[in-house]
Chains A and B, each alone.
Chain A
Amino acid sequence: MAEYSPKVEFDADKNKITMDGEWVVLHCQHYNLGFVQMVLDAAEYLDGGKLMSDSAEVVALKQLENQPGGSPEEVLNIAAGMFTKLGFGSIDFSGVDESGGEVKVPHSHIGNGWGVKYDKPSKQPVDFLARGFIAGALAKAYGKPKGAYKVTQQSCIAQGAPASTFKVEVG
């Protein structure tokens, strides 16, 4: 099965890093969790988690567009490799198919990052990045448009769970 093996290039004139032509930047959990904190603080009046997961879904779909296609299993294998290589964590799609199921994230930049940054566990699931990535990866795998899958995070490493879990339903 094809593995995720992006062509990484650095344009020294522009200080631009691309992976298979897509501009990527390095950031730390402090920045990413700063964004998550903004979402939590604004929760009363806007669904920032949806904004964040929508952004991640669009990006996952776009980045997977550049990858070899094939069967859903092959696309999800590439997606899992991408998730790992980018430093998002590790991801297990074995419990999901076209009609939905569960996706497990045993390691997560956001979830594990929370424990490094904050003393207290989170009161709620916060991995909007993984949530959007999962929705995008499944849409690509099954040839569906953005928004085809509704992903709900059920447990989160940031809350002290051993792994983050996501329920997937056809949207």
Chain B
Amino acid sequence: MAIDQSKVIQGVHGLKLEGDSSGLIRRFGVLLNNNNVDYYNDFSFEFERAIIDSHGADFAPIARELLIYAAQDCANNTFFGIMSSDEYKGLVTPMIENEEDKVKGLVAVENALGWARVEFAELKPGEKLVLRSRGGYEEEGYRKRYGKSDHGVCYMLAGVTAGFMDLLYGPGIGPENLGTYKCEEVKCIAKGDDCCEFVATKR
């Protein structure tokens, strides 16, 4: 059947992901929220800059690694909850015909969350995953604030790409696999590339 992305997106959006009477969105074993992209961009880029200001440019990779790790943690937990849900098993699992479809199913859900237009590029099961994105809120937000970058700035999408590999090919179950893989953003629109490209490999 192959993954029908628009059907998956419709399915996710049909879940009405809004606060209940207590203002919480309890789904997939986690609490979700809807927040403005400016909140995430302002905080992450200014936090990164503040670390560089206080510790020097040598600490830039550490600040970026922290931002990536937060997203990898999110992917390990939230996407594990999503993959384990009845909704996923009912809608997406029947569309999975091969190894690549396992990733494409997750990418389809990722695309429902409003982060970017993410596309599958390449998979070597257990070894390497390549995803590409356009219109991500991080690269757009970075360029709007600071102009062109000399490094990839889509930390959240990078962490999520590594998280997909953790979940699919890590030795344990779900979030036990956190950090098995790492991801590098080898191309980024904020650097002037034609797309953002994420390569996840074993750490």
Interface, chain A (partner B; CB < 8 A):
10, 12-17, 19, 22-32, 34-35, 37-39, 42, 45-46, 48, 51-52, 54-56, 58-59, 62-63, 83-91, 106-109, 112-113, 116, 129
Contacts and interface: CB of A to CB of B under 8 A. Distances in A.
Interface in B19-39: 19, 21-25, 30-39
25 contacts: A10-B13, A13-B117, A15-B118, A17-B114, A23-B36, A25-B37, A25-B114, A28-B77, A30-B70, A30-B73, A30-B74, A35-B43, A38-B66, A42-B47, A46-B51, A55-B38, A83-B19, A84-B19, A85-B19, A87-B24, A88-B19, A89-B23, A107-B23, A113-B30, A129-B39
Interface of B: 6, 9, 13, 17-19, 21-25, 30-40, 42-44, 46-47, 50-51, 54-55, 66-67, 69-71, 73-74, 76-78, 111-118, 135, 137, 156
Nearest to B17: A26
Contacts of A35: 43-44, 47, 70
A63 B30 CA distance: 25
A83 B46 CA distance: 24
B47 A91 contact: no
B37 A24 contact: yes
B22 A15 contact: no
A112 B31 contact: yes
Nearest to A22: B36
Contacts of B115: 15, 25
Contacts of A56: 39
Contact of A27 (B6, B9, B32, B38): B32
Given A54-B42, A87-B25, 9 more contacts: A10-B13, A17-B114, A25-B113, A26-B32, A27-B33, A28-B31, A29-B32, A32-B33, A90-B21
A135 B80 CA distance: 35
Contacts of A52: 43
Given A24-B36, A48-B47, A90 B78 contact: no
A81 to B, nearest CB: 9
Contact of B33 (A13, A23, A38, A88): A88
A31 B36 contact: no
